Structure 1
Amino acid sequence: MSAIKPPVRQARGDATRRQILDEAERIFADIGYAAARLDHVADAVGIRRPSIIYHFPGKQQLYDEVEADIFSSMHAFVLNRMKGVTDPMAQLLTLLDAWLDFLVGRPTAARIIQRLIADSAAHGDNPVRFSETALQDIEDVVAAGVVSGQFQPVSAMVLLNLVAGGALHYVCNAHQLGPSRSYDPSAPAQLVEFRAMMHRLAKAAVTDAPA
């Protein structure tokens, strides 16, 4: 019979695990999977390396948990935003808005997803193991729009790369264009401008009519 962990110890362990995940996400986002070390994460959290091993056997397992947390959180964010939205075009714009707002609010997630696109080393043998929910979300919305007749036949993956991918660049590129072109992705006016452009592109991509 296994021992039951005292509630205080369990809560402390859960809090430490959450700290590890948060700091690991920041470090993987900043320097990438290959350069990151468990020692970097331990130092950031203020614990010893063996304490990380207690929760995560190695760097790959820690990275997998970070990636899983990002995509599960993003999917939950999308589902909450999509409640009660039934019109296909409204669903598409709501989905894109949800992704944008999630990434603006969690820029480390945006940087990790962008690194995932460029760095195959961190994927393991299944590149969509954790991102499948995001891909399915946009495929379902596009399929519903085509079936309803509101959308022309269009590839969900083309739409993902053409429109949704712009949200990653919007968040990640804010300070990579030189001092005179830097911007704050969360600034209300900046966000309104980008969102409006994203909507125009999405509407043009799925309909024959001008956006």
Structure 2
Amino acid sequence: MSSVAQPLSDESVPSAAAVPDPPRQRDAERTRAEILDVATQEFADRGYAGARVDEIAAKTSTTKRMIYYYFGGKEQLYVAVLERAYKRIRSLEQQLDVEHLDPVQAVRELACLTFDHHEAHPEFIRLVSIENIHRAEHIARSEALSGLANPVLDVLGRILARGWDAGLFRDDVDALDVHQVISSFCVFRTANRHTWRVLFGRDMLDAERREHQRRMVGDLVVAHLTAR
């Protein structure tokens, strides 16, 4: 007499979280990430016009055909590089816990975060400079990038609102004004490092002056917000 199959208990059925991604999917994600890593450096070093998909393929463990399979073409790959670069800095800004800091300290923390990111990722600064040469035509075509300005402005807006309520900040400055001040300092320091060093004999990324400059950007923003 055959035994009757017993229903599986809840413990017998693996949860969705416990089931690993198929190896093929994980391989695809790794391949895509590798392509983006190499492409980021190529576009940053050579610009959009100078970068070659052949060179990118040669520096990865994949082929030109696979790059086109994953991204569709050179322009789409370049846009994907820009999207990832912008998403990284926006993600860091959103993760910053500003709600538990007083408004002055919160805006300093955001300025320091931007300072640290831009110093650690000079390729981001070069990519932004290159895209400005192209009058932001690639960013304009990206749906993903169209809403990426909002997170940092939301963070700054919350900081400013608390500063206004406390009577700490002037009320004729908006979030975009503050973002401009922070970005101007942090981008200039990285983008103009080499010409500044040759012309004035000072490396703006000199480790001995790093903390001085890091405090400086915070001082500039706070002074701007509290000027009467």
Q: TM-score, normalised by structure 2?
A: 0.76
| Matching residue within 21, 31, 39 for 2:36 | 21
Aligned counterpart, 2:195: 176
Unaligned runs of 5+ in 2: 1-19
1:184 Cα deviation after fit: 6.4
Q: Are the counterparts in 2 of residues 100 and 167 from structure 1 also a CA contact under 8 Å?
A: yes
Are 1:193 and 2:212 matched, yes or no? yes
| Matching residue within 140, 164, 180 for 2:158 | 140
Deviations 1:41-77 (A, max 9, x none): 2223253211101211122322222222222221222
Matches within 5 A, 1:122-141: 122-125=138-141, 128-141=146-159
| Matching residue within 69, 74, 79 for 2:89 | 74
Are 1:206 and 2:225 matched, yes or no? yes
Deviations 1:7-64 (A, max 9, x none): 3333322221111111111122222223333223222325321110121112232222
Count of paired positions: 204
CA distance in 2 between partners of 1:69 and 1:177 (Å): 29
Between the aligned residues of both structures, percent identity stands at 24
Q: Are the counterparts in 2 of residues 93 and 202 from structure 1 also a CA contact under 8 Å?
A: yes
| Matching residue within 57, 72, 78 for 1:42 | 57
Aligned counterpart, 1:167: 186
Q: Are the counterparts in 2 of residues 23 and 41 from structure 1 also a CA contact under 8 Å?
A: yes
Q: Secondary structure at the match of 1:183?
A: coil
Which entry has the higher C-alpha Rg, 1 or 2? 2
Query: What RMSD in Å do the two structures reach over aligned CA positions?
Result: 2.7
1:150 Cα deviation after fit: 1.4
Q: Secondary structure at the match of 1:123?
A: helix
Q: TM-score, normalised by structure 1?
A: 0.81
User: Greater shift after overlay, 5-14 or 60-69?
Assistant: 5-14
Q: Secondary structure at the match of 2:34?
A: helix
